[in-house]
Chains A and B, each alone.
Chain A
Amino acid sequence: MSALSANTDGLRRRRAVNRLMEAIATAAAFAAVVVLGIMVVSVARRGGAAIDLNLFTKTPHPFSFTNQPSGLANAFVGTAVIVGIATAMAVPVGVLSAIYLNEFARARVAFLIALALDVLNGVPAIVVGIFVFALIVVHHGQSALAGSFALSILMIPLIARATQEVLALVPQATREGSLALGVSRWRTTLGVVLPQTIGAIVTGTTLAVARVAGETAPLLFTSSIVGDRLQWNPHLALASVPLKIFEYSESPDPADHARAWAAALVLISFVLVASITARALAARSRRRMGLHR
C-alpha cells in the first residue's frame, strides 16, 4: 500500500511539473504572438491614421512655410527601382551558382561553395554596405546602382539556396533518361531539369525581395544623399522607403512620425504579403512534387 501511495505522490508531483512546463511553453508562444500583435497593431493603427493618397503621389517638403501636402512618392519609386535592379543582378548569379553546385561540382567543391554561400548569408548588412561604399561609392559617388549591388549581395545566397534545394529534388532518373535519349548535357539541364524548378526559383526570389525591401543598412552608405524630387535615374542616389522611415523615426516632429508609421505600414504589408504568398506557393509546389511535410 505504501509503495502505491508513494508512487501516486511522485506521480502527482511529476504531473504538476509537467503542467507547469507546458504552461510556460504555451505562455512563451503566446508572448511571441502578443508582441508581434502589439507591433503590427501599432503600425496598423498609427499608419492607417496617417495613410492617404498623398503618401504615394506627393514628394517631401520639409521646412515648407506654406504647408504643402507632402508624401513619399520619391521613396516608393526609388525602392522599386533599387530592388528591381538588385533582383535582376541576383537571380542570374544565384540560379547559375546553384546549377553549378548541383549539376557539375564534385562533392568537395560543392561542400565548399555551399558553405561559402551560407557564410555569405550571415555577413551583417552593415558590413556589406561598407564594402560597397569602399568598392564603388568612393570612386563613383552614390547611386541606386551601388545600392542595388549591395542588396543583391544579400539576395544571392537566398536565391541560390532555394534553387539548389529544389534542383536536388529533381529525380536523377529524369536527367539520366534525357541523357540516354542523346540530349546534350546543357539542353538537359536548361530544358528538362530547370523548368521543373521555376516555381521554387520564383518563391526563393520573392522571399529574397521581401527581405531586402526593408533593408536600411546597405543603403545608408550607397544611396542616402537624395533630394526631395521624384527621380528614377539609377545613376543617381535614389530615396528609399526604409531610409526615409529611419530618418523620420529620429525626428522630433510628430508629422514626420505619422509619415514614418504610414510608410512602415505599406512596407510591412508588402513584406508580409510577399512572404505569405511565397510560402503558399512553395507548399503548393511541394505537394505537387509529391512530398509532404
Chain B
Amino acid sequence: MRTRGVISTVGLALVVTAATAAASLAGTARQSATNLRGAGSSFVAPLVAQWQSNYKGASVDYNPIGSGGGIAAITARTVDFGASDAPLSKDEFAACKGCVQIPWALSATSIPYNLDLGRRLKLSGKVLAGIYLGQIKTWNDKRIQALNKGLKLPSTKITPVYRSDNSGTSYNFTDYLSSVNATWKSKIGVGTNAKWPAGIGAPKSNGVAAAVSQTKGAIGYVDVAYAIKNHLPFAAVQNAAGQYILPGNVGIKAAAATVSKVPSSNAISIVNPPSSQRSAYPICTFTYVILPLKTSKAADLRKFVFWALTNGQQYGPRLRFVPIPNKVLGASEKTLKRVHS
C-alpha cells in the first residue's frame, strides 16, 4: 500500500539521520581530545602556521580574521585563544572578563609599494604621514624626491592602501604615524581601525598585499612576511638616527633592544625607537596571544604557549620574526603561569 511506501521511506531517512548523528557524536569524542582553536591577527599567521605543523602536543586550528576579530572571538569565548598585534584597551580588558595578553612573537610592518624604480625607495615618517593624510598625492612630489636623490620618480598618483578591517597591523602603523606626526596624532590617533582620510581599504594582510600588487602607484603597510611571500618591494624607512633601515632581523632586534621594563599589562610599544639605536627599524611590534585566566583547557594552552615562546621561536627568523628578548620572555612566562583551570 502507498502508506507503507511513505512510512518506509520516512523510516529509512530517520535511520540514516540517526546513523549520521551517531557517527558525528563518535567523532566528537575522538577529536575533542586536544584541539586548540584560535583566531585573530593575520600578522602572526605565518608563524602560527609553522607552529601548527611542528607542535605535537595538540592539534591547533587558527583562523587569521584580523586582530579585532581575535579580540572579539576570545571575548565571546568562541575560541580557546585569541591573537592580536594591538594590546587590549581598558574597555576591551573589561569586556573580556579576566583575560591576559602575552607577547609571543616579534616582527615588523613593511611598507610595500608598486613602482618600477630600479632602486629601493626611501621614505621617512613625515612623508608616510603626508601620504596617508592625503597631503602628498603624486610620487614625484618634492618631499619624496628629497629623500631619494638620484632616483627619477614618476608622476603617478599615489594610492595609499589601508586595512578595512580591525587590524593590529593598523594599530602598529597608526602608532608609528602618531609618534612622528602631530597632525596624525590629534586628528586620527592610534587604533585598530581609523578614519582613513585617503586611499582604498582592503581586508586582511592578504587583501592589502593583493591591492598593492594590482594597483600601479599603490603603497601599503603589511607584515613583512607577506611582502616577502608575494615578492613586493618594500621601502627603507628613516629612523630617529637618520638612517634608512629595512625591516630585517637586524633592524627588528635593534628596535626590541630598547625595552627596559615590561609594564604589568604586558603592552609594549617599540615604534620610532630613540636615536641611540642606530640600526633600529622604526615600525616594529610585538604581537600577543590573549588567554582567559580561567579556562578548562588551561593545561593544554599553557603547554602550547610555553612551547611557542621557547622552541617555537626558532621557526621565526626565516619569516622575519625575531626571537623575543629575554626580559619580555620572563614577563610572558610569569603571566602564563597565572592561567589556570
A contacting B, Cβ–Cβ less than 8 Å: yes
Residues of A within 8 A of B (CB): 61-65, 81, 84-85, 88, 137-138, 141-142, 187, 190-192, 194-195, 198, 224-229, 231-236, 247, 250-253
**Considering the chains assembled together, what is the distance between the CA atoms of A63 and B52 in angstroms?**
11
- Count B interface residues, CB 8 Å: 50
20 examples of A-B residue contacts, CB within 8 angstroms: A63-B46, A65-B318, A85-B20, A142-B78, A190-B6, A191-B2, A191-B3, A195-B2, A225-B37, A225-B61, A225-B73, A227-B59, A231-B31, A233-B24, A233-B27, A233-B32, A250-B202, A252-B212, A252-B213, A252-B230
**Considering the chains assembled together, what is the distance between the CA atoms of A63 and B27 in angstroms?**
29
Q: Is B229 a contact of A225 with CB atoms below 8 Å?
A: no
Task: Note all chain B residues with C-beta closer than 8 A to A63.
Answer: 45-46, 49-50, 225, 229, 319
**Considering the chains assembled together, what is the distance between the CA atoms of A64 and B32 in angstroms?**
26
Question: Smallest CB–CB gap between B280 and chain A, Å?
Answer: 26
**Considering the chains assembled together, what is the distance between the CA atoms of A253 and B207 in angstroms?**
10
Known: A195-B2, A225-B61. A250 touches B206 (CB 8 A): yes
B260 at the interface (CB under 8 A from A): no
**Considering the chains assembled together, what is the distance between the CA atoms of A88 and B16 in angstroms?**
10
B60 at the interface (CB under 8 A from A): yes
| Contact residues of A: prevailing secondary structure | loop
Known: A191-B6, A224-B65, A233-B31. A252 touches B206 (CB 8 A): yes
Known: A65-B318, A191-B6, A195-B5. A253 touches B229 (CB 8 A): yes
**Considering the chains assembled together, what is the distance between the CA atoms of A227 and B60 in angstroms?**
7
| A to B contact number (C-beta, < 8 Å) | 102
Given contacts A65-B318, A84-B20, A253-B206, 17 further A-B contacts (CB under 8 A): A64-B49, A85-B20, A142-B78, A190-B3, A191-B3, A195-B2, A198-B9, A224-B65, A225-B37, A225-B79, A226-B63, A228-B52, A228-B61, A233-B24, A236-B35, A251-B209, A252-B232
CB-contact partner of A226 in B20, B28, B61, B230, under 8 A = B61
Q: Which of B154-209 contact A (CB under 8 A)?
A: 202-204, 206-207, 209
CB-contact partner of B1 in A88, A191, A226, A247, under 8 A = A191
B53 at the interface (CB under 8 A from A): yes
**Considering the chains assembled together, what is the distance between the CA atoms of A46 and B305 in angstroms?**
41
Q: Which of B54-72 contact A (CB under 8 A)?
A: 59-63, 65
Question: Smallest CB–CB gap between B289 and chain A, Å?
Answer: 15
**Considering the chains assembled together, what is the distance between the CA atoms of A195 and B8 in angstroms?**
12
B258 at the interface (CB under 8 A from A): no
Q: Is B24 a contact of A250 with CB atoms below 8 Å?
A: no
Known: A63-B229, A225-B61. A250 touches B207 (CB 8 A): yes
Task: Note all chain A residues with C-beta closer than 8 A to B6.
Answer: 190-191, 194-195
**Considering the chains assembled together, what is the distance between the CA atoms of A144 and B228 in angstroms?**
35
B311 at the interface (CB under 8 A from A): no
Across the A-B interface, give the 7 residue pairs with the lowest CB-CB distance, nearest first.
A227-B61, A191-B3, A141-B78, A252-B210, A225-B63, A63-B49, A252-B209
**Considering the chains assembled together, what is the distance between the CA atoms of A187 and B1 in angstroms?**
11
**Considering the chains assembled together, what is the distance between the CA atoms of A250 and B2 in angstroms?**
53
Task: Note all chain B residues with C-beta closer than 8 A to A61.
Answer: 49, 53
Map CB proximity to A onto B1-23 as digits: 1 under 8 Å, 0 otherwise.
11101110100000001001000
**Considering the chains assembled together, what is the distance between the CA atoms of A38 and B31 in angstroms?**
44
Known: A63-B49, A252-B230. A232 touches B27 (CB 8 A): yes
**Considering the chains assembled together, what is the distance between the CA atoms of A62 and B202 in angstroms?**
20
B77 at the interface (CB under 8 A from A): yes
**Considering the chains assembled together, what is the distance between the CA atoms of A235 and B27 in angstroms?**
10
B299 at the interface (CB under 8 A from A): no
Q: Is B5 a contact of A137 with CB atoms below 8 Å?
A: no
**Considering the chains assembled together, what is the distance between the CA atoms of A61 and B206 in angstroms?**
15
Q: Is A225 a contact of B24 with CB atoms below 8 Å?
A: no
B106 at the interface (CB under 8 A from A): no
Q: Is B28 a contact of A233 with CB atoms below 8 Å?
A: yes
Question: Smallest CB–CB gap between A133 and chain B, Å?
Answer: 10
Task: Note all chain A residues with C-beta closer than 8 A to B3.
Answer: 187, 190-191
**Considering the chains assembled together, what is the distance between the CA atoms of A250 and B35 in angstroms?**
28
B39 at the interface (CB under 8 A from A): yes
CB-contact partner of B206 in A138, A194, A227, A251, under 8 A = A251
CB-contact partner of B210 in A88, A138, A191, A250, under 8 A = A250
Most buried by B among A84, A190, A225, A235: A225
Task: Note all chain A residues with C-beta closer than 8 A to B63.
Answer: 224-227
B94 at the interface (CB under 8 A from A): no
Q: Is B49 a contact of A225 with CB atoms below 8 Å?
A: no
Q: Which of B304-341 contact A (CB under 8 A)?
A: 318-319
**Considering the chains assembled together, what is the distance between the CA atoms of A64 and B52 in angstroms?**
11
Task: Note all chain B residues with C-beta closer than 8 A to A236.
Answer: 31, 35, 37
